[in-house]
Chain A
Amino acid sequence: MKRRISIGTLTMLPVGLLLLTGFLVPIGIVAAYSFMPPRTFALTGNLTGANYEAALMEGYWRPLMWSTVGALATTLICLVLAWPTAKALDRFVGRWATFATLLIALPIFISESVRLFGMSLFLMPGGGILAGSLDALFGVSIGTILNTHLAALLGLIYVHFPFVLFPLLLGFSLIPREQVEAARDLGASGWQVFREIEAPLTAPGAAIGALFCFVLSLGANAEMSILGGQVVTVATRAIEQRFNYAQDWPLGAALTMLVILITALVVLPILRRIDLDRLIRR
Chain B
Amino acid sequence: MSWRATRATRSLQAMWLTAVLILLYVPILSVVLASLANTRYMRFPHKVWTLDAYREALGTYTTATLHVTSLKIALVVVALSVVLAVFGALAFARYDWRGRSWFRRFLLLPVFFPQPVLGLALLLSFTAAGITPTWQTAAFAHLVWIVPIVTLVISIRLYSYDVIQEEAAFDLGATRLQVFREVTLPALAPGVVSGALFAFLLSWSNLPLSIYTTGADTTLPEWLFSRTATNYSPLVPAVAVIATGISAAFIALGAIVWTQLRRRAA
Contacts and interface: CB of A to CB of B under 8 A. Distances in A.
Real binding pair: yes
B124 A243 contact: yes
Given A14-B84, A117-B31, A212-B112, A22 B10 contact: no
A124 B41 CA distance: 11
Interface string A66-90: 0000000000000001001101110
Given A85-B16, A118-B27, A236-B114, A18 B143 contact: yes
B201 interface: yes
Contacts of A81: 20
Contacts, number: 275
B73 interface: no
Given A9-B97, A110-B247, A276-B104, A22 B122 contact: yes
A26 B121 contact: yes
A246 interface: no
A122 interface: yes
Interface stretch (A45-53, A55-63, A194-202, A249-257): A249-257
A91 B84 contact: no
B97 A6 contact: yes
Contact of A19 (B97, B99, B106): B106
B103 A114 contact: no
A252 B120 contact: yes
Interface string B163-180: 000000000000000000
A35 B141 CA distance: 25
Interface in A230-282: 236, 239-240, 243, 249, 252-253, 256, 259-260, 263, 267, 271-272, 276-277, 280-281
B166 to A, nearest CB: 12
Given A6-B95, A8-B100, A104-B20, A111 B110 contact: no
Contacts of B116: 219-221, 236
Contacts of B243: 111, 114
A81 B23 CA distance: 12
Interface string A9-27: 1011111101100110111
A218 interface: yes
Contact of A219 (B17, B115, B244): B115
B117 A111 contact: no
Contacts of B236: 117
A15 B91 contact: yes
Contacts of B208: 219, 221-222
Nearest to B241: A114
Contacts of A182: none
Given A103-B21, A107-B28, A114-B243, A129 B34 contact: yes
Interface of A: 6-9, 11-16, 18-19, 22-23, 25-27, 29-30, 33, 41, 43, 81, 84-85, 87-89, 91-92, 100, 103-104, 106-107, 109-122, 124, 126-129, 131-133, 136, 158, 161, 184, 211-212, 215-216, 218-222, 225-226, 236, 239-240, 243, 249, 252-253, 256, 259-260, 263, 267, 271-272, 276-277, 280-281
Given A117-B236, A263-B117, 9 more contacts: A11-B88, A18-B84, A26-B122, A29-B121, A110-B205, A117-B224, A132-B44, A243-B123, A256-B124
21 contacts: A12-B87, A23-B110, A26-B124, A100-B17, A104-B21, A109-B202, A110-B28, A113-B228, A114-B31, A114-B244, A118-B27, A122-B30, A127-B41, A136-B44, A216-B114, A219-B208, A221-B116, A226-B229, A256-B117, A260-B117, A267-B112
